Amino acid sequence: MNYIVHYDICALVLYAVTIVVFCIRKRVPCRRNKAFGFMLGTAAVSCVLDLLCVFTTSETVGRFLKMLCHVSYYVTHNLITFAFMIYVLFLTDNFSGRTKGFKAALYAPISVDLILILTSPFTKWIIYLDDGGAYTRGPLQPVCYIISVYYLLFGVVYTLRNRRMISTQVVVSIMGFVGMTCVAVVIQFFNPHLLVECFGGALCIMLVMFMLQNQDDIMDSVTKMLNRSTFANNCMINFSADNAFAVLLIKIPDFTLLMKTFGGRFSNNLLRSFSEYLYSFVNLGDGYYLEDECFALTFFRDYDRIDGIYREIDARLSSDWKIGAVDTVISAMFLRIDCPADASDVETVMDFIEQFKQYSFSDKKLYYAENINLYDRKRRFDVERAIERALKNKTFKVYYQPVFGSEENKIVSCEALLRLMDDELGNIPPSEFIPIAEQNGSIMKIGRFVFEEACRFIRKGYAALLGIEYVQVNLSVVQCMQSDLTENFVNIMDRYKIDPSQICLEITETSAAYTPHIMEQNIKQLSAIGIKFALDDYGTGYSNMNYLLNLPFKYIKLEKEITGKALNNEKARIAIESTVAMIKKLNMKIVAEGAETAEQVETLLEMKCDYIQGVYFSEPLAEKDFLKWAESFNAINLKV
C-alpha cells in the first residue's frame, strides 16, 4: 500500500510545538496536568511509531521489527482515547470516590483492547503480517475502533452529565476534541492509505492545551500553587457533586513583615519553599495560595488527620526557618472549615476566610468555623435594602456633635455624623452601614448627601452666629479615590455659596496610611482651595508617619480609646502628652475625641489639647437640638 505520510509529518511538528509549550509553561503539579501530559506523550509516541511503521514496509526489514512497530503503534494509539477519558475525569476533579461499576466500565475495555493487541502476533486477530511481510488488518480489528469510540462517547456523556460542574469552555473544548477525532478516524477507516488520524489527534490536543491548559488562569505565579479563583471554583465543584470536604486555612501574619525586611527575591523563595512544604500534606492540586498571607489545603477524607497536620505545620514553623542568613521562628493561625457542615456554599466559605483574615494574633492557634463571628449575609442584604430605601425616601439624617475649643472656652465646631433609622430594622449604626455602603458603592451618594446637608446647614448661618467656625464632615476612602471629587464638592459649595474654610474634611488614619496617588491629589487640590483636613482616629495602630508629614492636615483627632486611657493609664498619659507636643510643633491642632467624664476633660485640658469632643459635652444631636444646645452652652460658658 502506498501511504500518504504528509499528515503524519505535520502531526509530528504540531506535537513538537505542543510538547515544548507544555514543558516550558508554568504548571501546577496536579492530577489534571499529569493526565494531560500522559495523553500528549502517548499521542506523540504513537505518531512517531506510525511513521516508523510506514518506513519499515520495505521487504528488507525483518518481520520481527515490523511487527514490533505495528504492535507498539496500536498500543499507544489505542491508549490515546483512554488517556483522554482520564483527563476529562480530572477536569471535573471528581475521580476519587467512584463506584466499582464505574471503574470497571473505565478500565475493562482498554484491558481487553491491550490484551487483543499484544496477543495479535500469535492470534492474528487485530493485525498480522501476510506471507509477503505486508501489514494486514485482522478480523477483530474493528474492536479497536469500537473501543476508541466507546471512550470518546464515555467522555461526551460524562461531560454532559456533569456540565453544571464545569465551564462552557471546557464542554465546548471536549466536544471539539471528540468531533475532530471522529472525523479523522472515519476518513482513515475508509482510506487506510491516508494517515490522517495522528494529524487529527495532534490538532485536538493542541486545541485542548490552548483552551484548557492555560495555567496562568489557575495558578499563582510565585508559589505555583492553585490560586484563589481556582479554590473558589473547586469548592463549587465539590458542593455541586455533594462531596464532603474540609478546608484548613493557614494564615501567616509574619510573612508581610519578613517580605518587607528581606526583599522581593527572598520573599518569593520563602513563599515557594513554604508551599512546597505544604504540598507534602495533600494530593498535588489540593493546595492553594489565597494571597494576603493565607494558604489553604483541602481534604476529602482522613478528616481526623487535619488537627494533627495543623500541629505539625505549626511545630515546623516555630522551629527555625532559615531565612537568608537568619534562623527564625514563624507564627501561624489556622482555621478549619468542614463542608457542608459549616458552610454549604462557596460564598460562605469565602466569608469565613475573609472574616478570619481580620483576626489578629492571639494565644489561640486553631480556630473552627464555629468560632468565627460571621457577619450574617441576610443582615448585610437587609442593611443594603435599608440604605437603598433611605436614599430613595431621603430618610438619612445628619446629626451634629459639638467640638469644644479649650482656648476659646466655647463650642467652635461640630462634626456631621450620619444616622440611619429604618422602619424595619430600627437604628443602624454608621460602623455597620458605612462599610457596607463602601463595598456596594452607595457611599458615593451618601457622601454627597452628607456634604450637601452640611453645606445647607452652614448656609442657614445660625451656626456661624453661635461662633461655629467650620463643620467637620467624614470622608470615606472610596470617595477620596474618585477623580471628580474636587469638582463635585466645588460645585456643591458654589451652589450653597459656602466658603471652603467653613468645611473640614476628616479622613481616617487607616485610609491615610495607604494613600494612593489620586487620594493625595484630591486632598491637595481641596486643601489648595481652602478646605481644612483632619486626620481622624489617630493612634489606631499605624506607625508610618509619612502621611502626617506629606498631607496638609490641620487637625489631628486622637482616637477615643486612647483618650479614654488618658485618665488612669500612666503610659497612655505620657504618650498623649508627647503626641500633643509633637503635633503642636508640627503646627497642627489636636482634637481629643470621646471625652465622657469631667475628669477626662480636665486631664485633656491639662495636657493642652486644643479641642475636645465627646458625650461629656453632648451626644450628636439633630440640627435644631444641636443649635439650641450650642446656643445655651456658649452663652453660659462665655458669661463665666
Give me the least distance between CB of 251 and Mg ion, in Å please.
Answer: 28
CB-wise, 245 or 404, nearer to ligand C2E? 404
CB-wise, 218 or 443, nearer to ligand C2E? 443
Residue 505 near residue 533 (C-beta atoms within 8 A): yes
If binding is defined by CB under 6 A, does position 61 make contact with ligand C2E? no
CB-wise, 71 or 446, nearer to ligand C2E? 446
Closest-CA residue to 382 (of 334, 445, 436, 343): 436
Can you tell me the distance from the alpha carbon of 489 to that of 155, in angstroms, rounded to the nearest whole number? 61
CB-wise, 430 or 467, nearer to ligand C2E? 430
CB-wise, 430 or 500, nearer to ligand C2E? 430
Contact region for ligand C2E (CB under 6 A) — 4-12, 379-387, 525-533, 593-601? 593-601
CB-wise, 184 or 562, nearer to ligand C2E? 562
Q: How far apart are the first and last CA of the chain?
A: 119
Contact region for ligand C2E (CB under 6 A) — 61-69, 141-149, 471-479, 488-496? 471-479
CB-wise, 56 or 476, nearer to ligand C2E? 476
Check residue 471 and report its DSSP letter: E
CB-wise, 334 or 433, nearer to ligand C2E? 433
Contact region for Mg ion (CB under 5 A) — 23-31, 419-427, 453-461, 593-601? 593-601
Contact region for Mg ion (CB under 5 A) — 37-45, 208-216, 341-349, 532-540? 532-540
Contact region for ligand C2E (CB under 6 A) — 164-172, 387-395, 425-433, 522-530? 425-433
111: burial class by Cβ within 10 Å (0-12, 13-18, 19+)?
Answer: exposed
If binding is defined by CB under 6 A, does position 401 make contact with ligand C2E? yes
Binding residue for ligand C2E, selected from 79, 466, 614, 630, defined by CB under 6 A: 614
Phi, psi of 245 (to 5 degrees): -155, 165
Alpha helix locations (H) across 95-196?
A: 100-118, 120-123, 141-161, 168-190
Angle between helices 197-212 and 168-190 (to 10 degrees): 170
Residue type, 231: F
If binding is defined by CB under 6 A, does position 220 make contact with ligand C2E? no
If binding is defined by CB under 6 A, does position 183 make contact with ligand C2E? no
Which residues are paired to 413 by β-bridges? 403, 470
List the single partner that 208 binds among ligand C2E, Mg ion, none, CB under 5 to 8 Å by kind: none
CA-only gyration radius of the chain, Å: 36
Binding residue for Mg ion, selected from 8, 537, 610, 623, defined by CB under 5 A: 537
List the single partner that 620 binds among ligand C2E, Mg ion, none, CB under 5 to 8 Å by kind: ligand C2E
Can you tell me the distance from the alpha carbon of 502 to that of 515, in angstroms, rounded to the nearest whole number? 25
If binding is defined by CB under 5 A, does position 536 make contact with Mg ion? yes
Binding residue for Mg ion, selected from 474, 476, 511, 634, defined by CB under 5 A: 474
Give me the least distance between CB of 479 and ligand C2E, in Å please.
Answer: 7
CB-wise, 341 or 615, nearer to ligand C2E? 615
| C-alpha cell of residue 445 | 451618594
> Between residue 538 and residue 577, which ones bind ligand C2E under the rule CB under 6 A?
560
If binding is defined by CB under 6 A, does position 596 make contact with ligand C2E? yes
Can you tell me the distance from the alpha carbon of 310 to that of 77, in angstroms, rounded to the nearest whole number? 46
Q: What is the dihedral of CA 560, 565, 571, 574, to 10 degrees?
A: 60
How many residues touch Mg ion under the rule CB under 5 A: the total is 5
- Pairing mode, strands 294-299 and 287-289: antiparallel
> Between residue 473 and residue 532, which ones bind ligand C2E under the rule CB under 6 A?
474-476, 506, 508
Give me the least distance between CB of 358 and ligand C2E, in Å please.
Answer: 17
Can you tell me the distance from the alpha carbon of 424 to that of 348, in angstroms, rounded to the nearest whole number? 25
Closest-CA residue to 356 (of 369, 340, 347): 369
Give me the least distance between CB of 581 and Mg ion, in Å please.
Answer: 21
Fill in the per-residue mask, 24 to 63: x = in contact with Mg ion (CB under 5 A), - = not in contact. Answer: ----------------------------------------
Burial string for 445-471 (b: 16+ CB within 10 Å, else e) reads: ebbebbbbbbbebbbeebbeebbbbbb
Residue 395 near residue 421 (C-beta atoms within 8 A): yes
CB-wise, 170 or 630, nearer to ligand C2E? 630
If binding is defined by CB under 6 A, does position 600 make contact with ligand C2E? no
Can you tell me the distance from the alpha carbon of 343 to that of 345, in angstroms, rounded to the nearest whole number? 6
Give me the least distance between CB of 623 and ligand C2E, in Å please.
Answer: 14
> At 224, is the secondary structure helix, strand, or coil?
coil
Q: How far is CA 66 from CA 116, 353, 420, 513, 582, in A?
A: 18, 61, 86, 75, 92
Contact region for ligand C2E (CB under 6 A) — 73-81, 240-248, 267-275, 588-596? 588-596
> Between residue 426 and residue 465, which ones bind ligand C2E under the rule CB under 6 A?
429-431, 434, 450
CB-wise, 63 or 379, nearer to ligand C2E? 379
Positive or negative torsion for Cα 29, 34, 35, 36: positive
If binding is defined by CB under 6 A, does position 537 make contact with ligand C2E? yes
List the single partner that 520 binds among ligand C2E, Mg ion, none, CB under 5 to 8 Å by kind: none
- For every residue of 230-260, DSSP letters joined together read HHHHHHHHHHHTT--EEEEEEE-THHHHHHH
CB-wise, 158 or 451, nearer to ligand C2E? 451
How many residues touch ligand C2E under the rule CB under 6 A: the total is 23
CB-wise, 246 or 595, nearer to ligand C2E? 595
Angle between helices 346-358 and 228-240 (to 10 degrees): 140
Q: How far is CA 431 from CA 236, 355, 417, 419, 591, in A?
A: 32, 16, 11, 11, 21
- Pairing mode, strands 410-422 and 397-405: antiparallel
Give me the least distance between CB of 215 and Mg ion, in Å please.
Answer: 47
Give me the least distance between CB of 613 and Mg ion, in Å please.
Answer: 8
- For every residue of 108-129, DSSP letters joined together read HHHHHHHHHHHTHHHH-SSEEE
List the single partner that 160 binds among ligand C2E, Mg ion, none, CB under 5 to 8 Å by kind: none
CB-wise, 46 or 472, nearer to Mg ion? 472
Residue 80 near residue 201 (C-beta atoms within 8 A): yes
Can you tell me the distance from the alpha carbon of 319 to that of 330, in angstroms, rounded to the nearest whole number? 8
CB-wise, 342 or 537, nearer to ligand C2E? 537
Looking up cell 456633635, which residue turns up? 401
If binding is defined by CB under 6 A, does position 402 make contact with ligand C2E? no
Which residues of this chain interact with ligand C2E, rule CB under 6 A? 401, 417-418, 429-431, 434, 450, 474-476, 506, 508, 536-537, 560, 593-596, 614-615, 620
Which residues of this chain interact with Mg ion, rule CB under 5 A? 474, 506, 536-537, 593
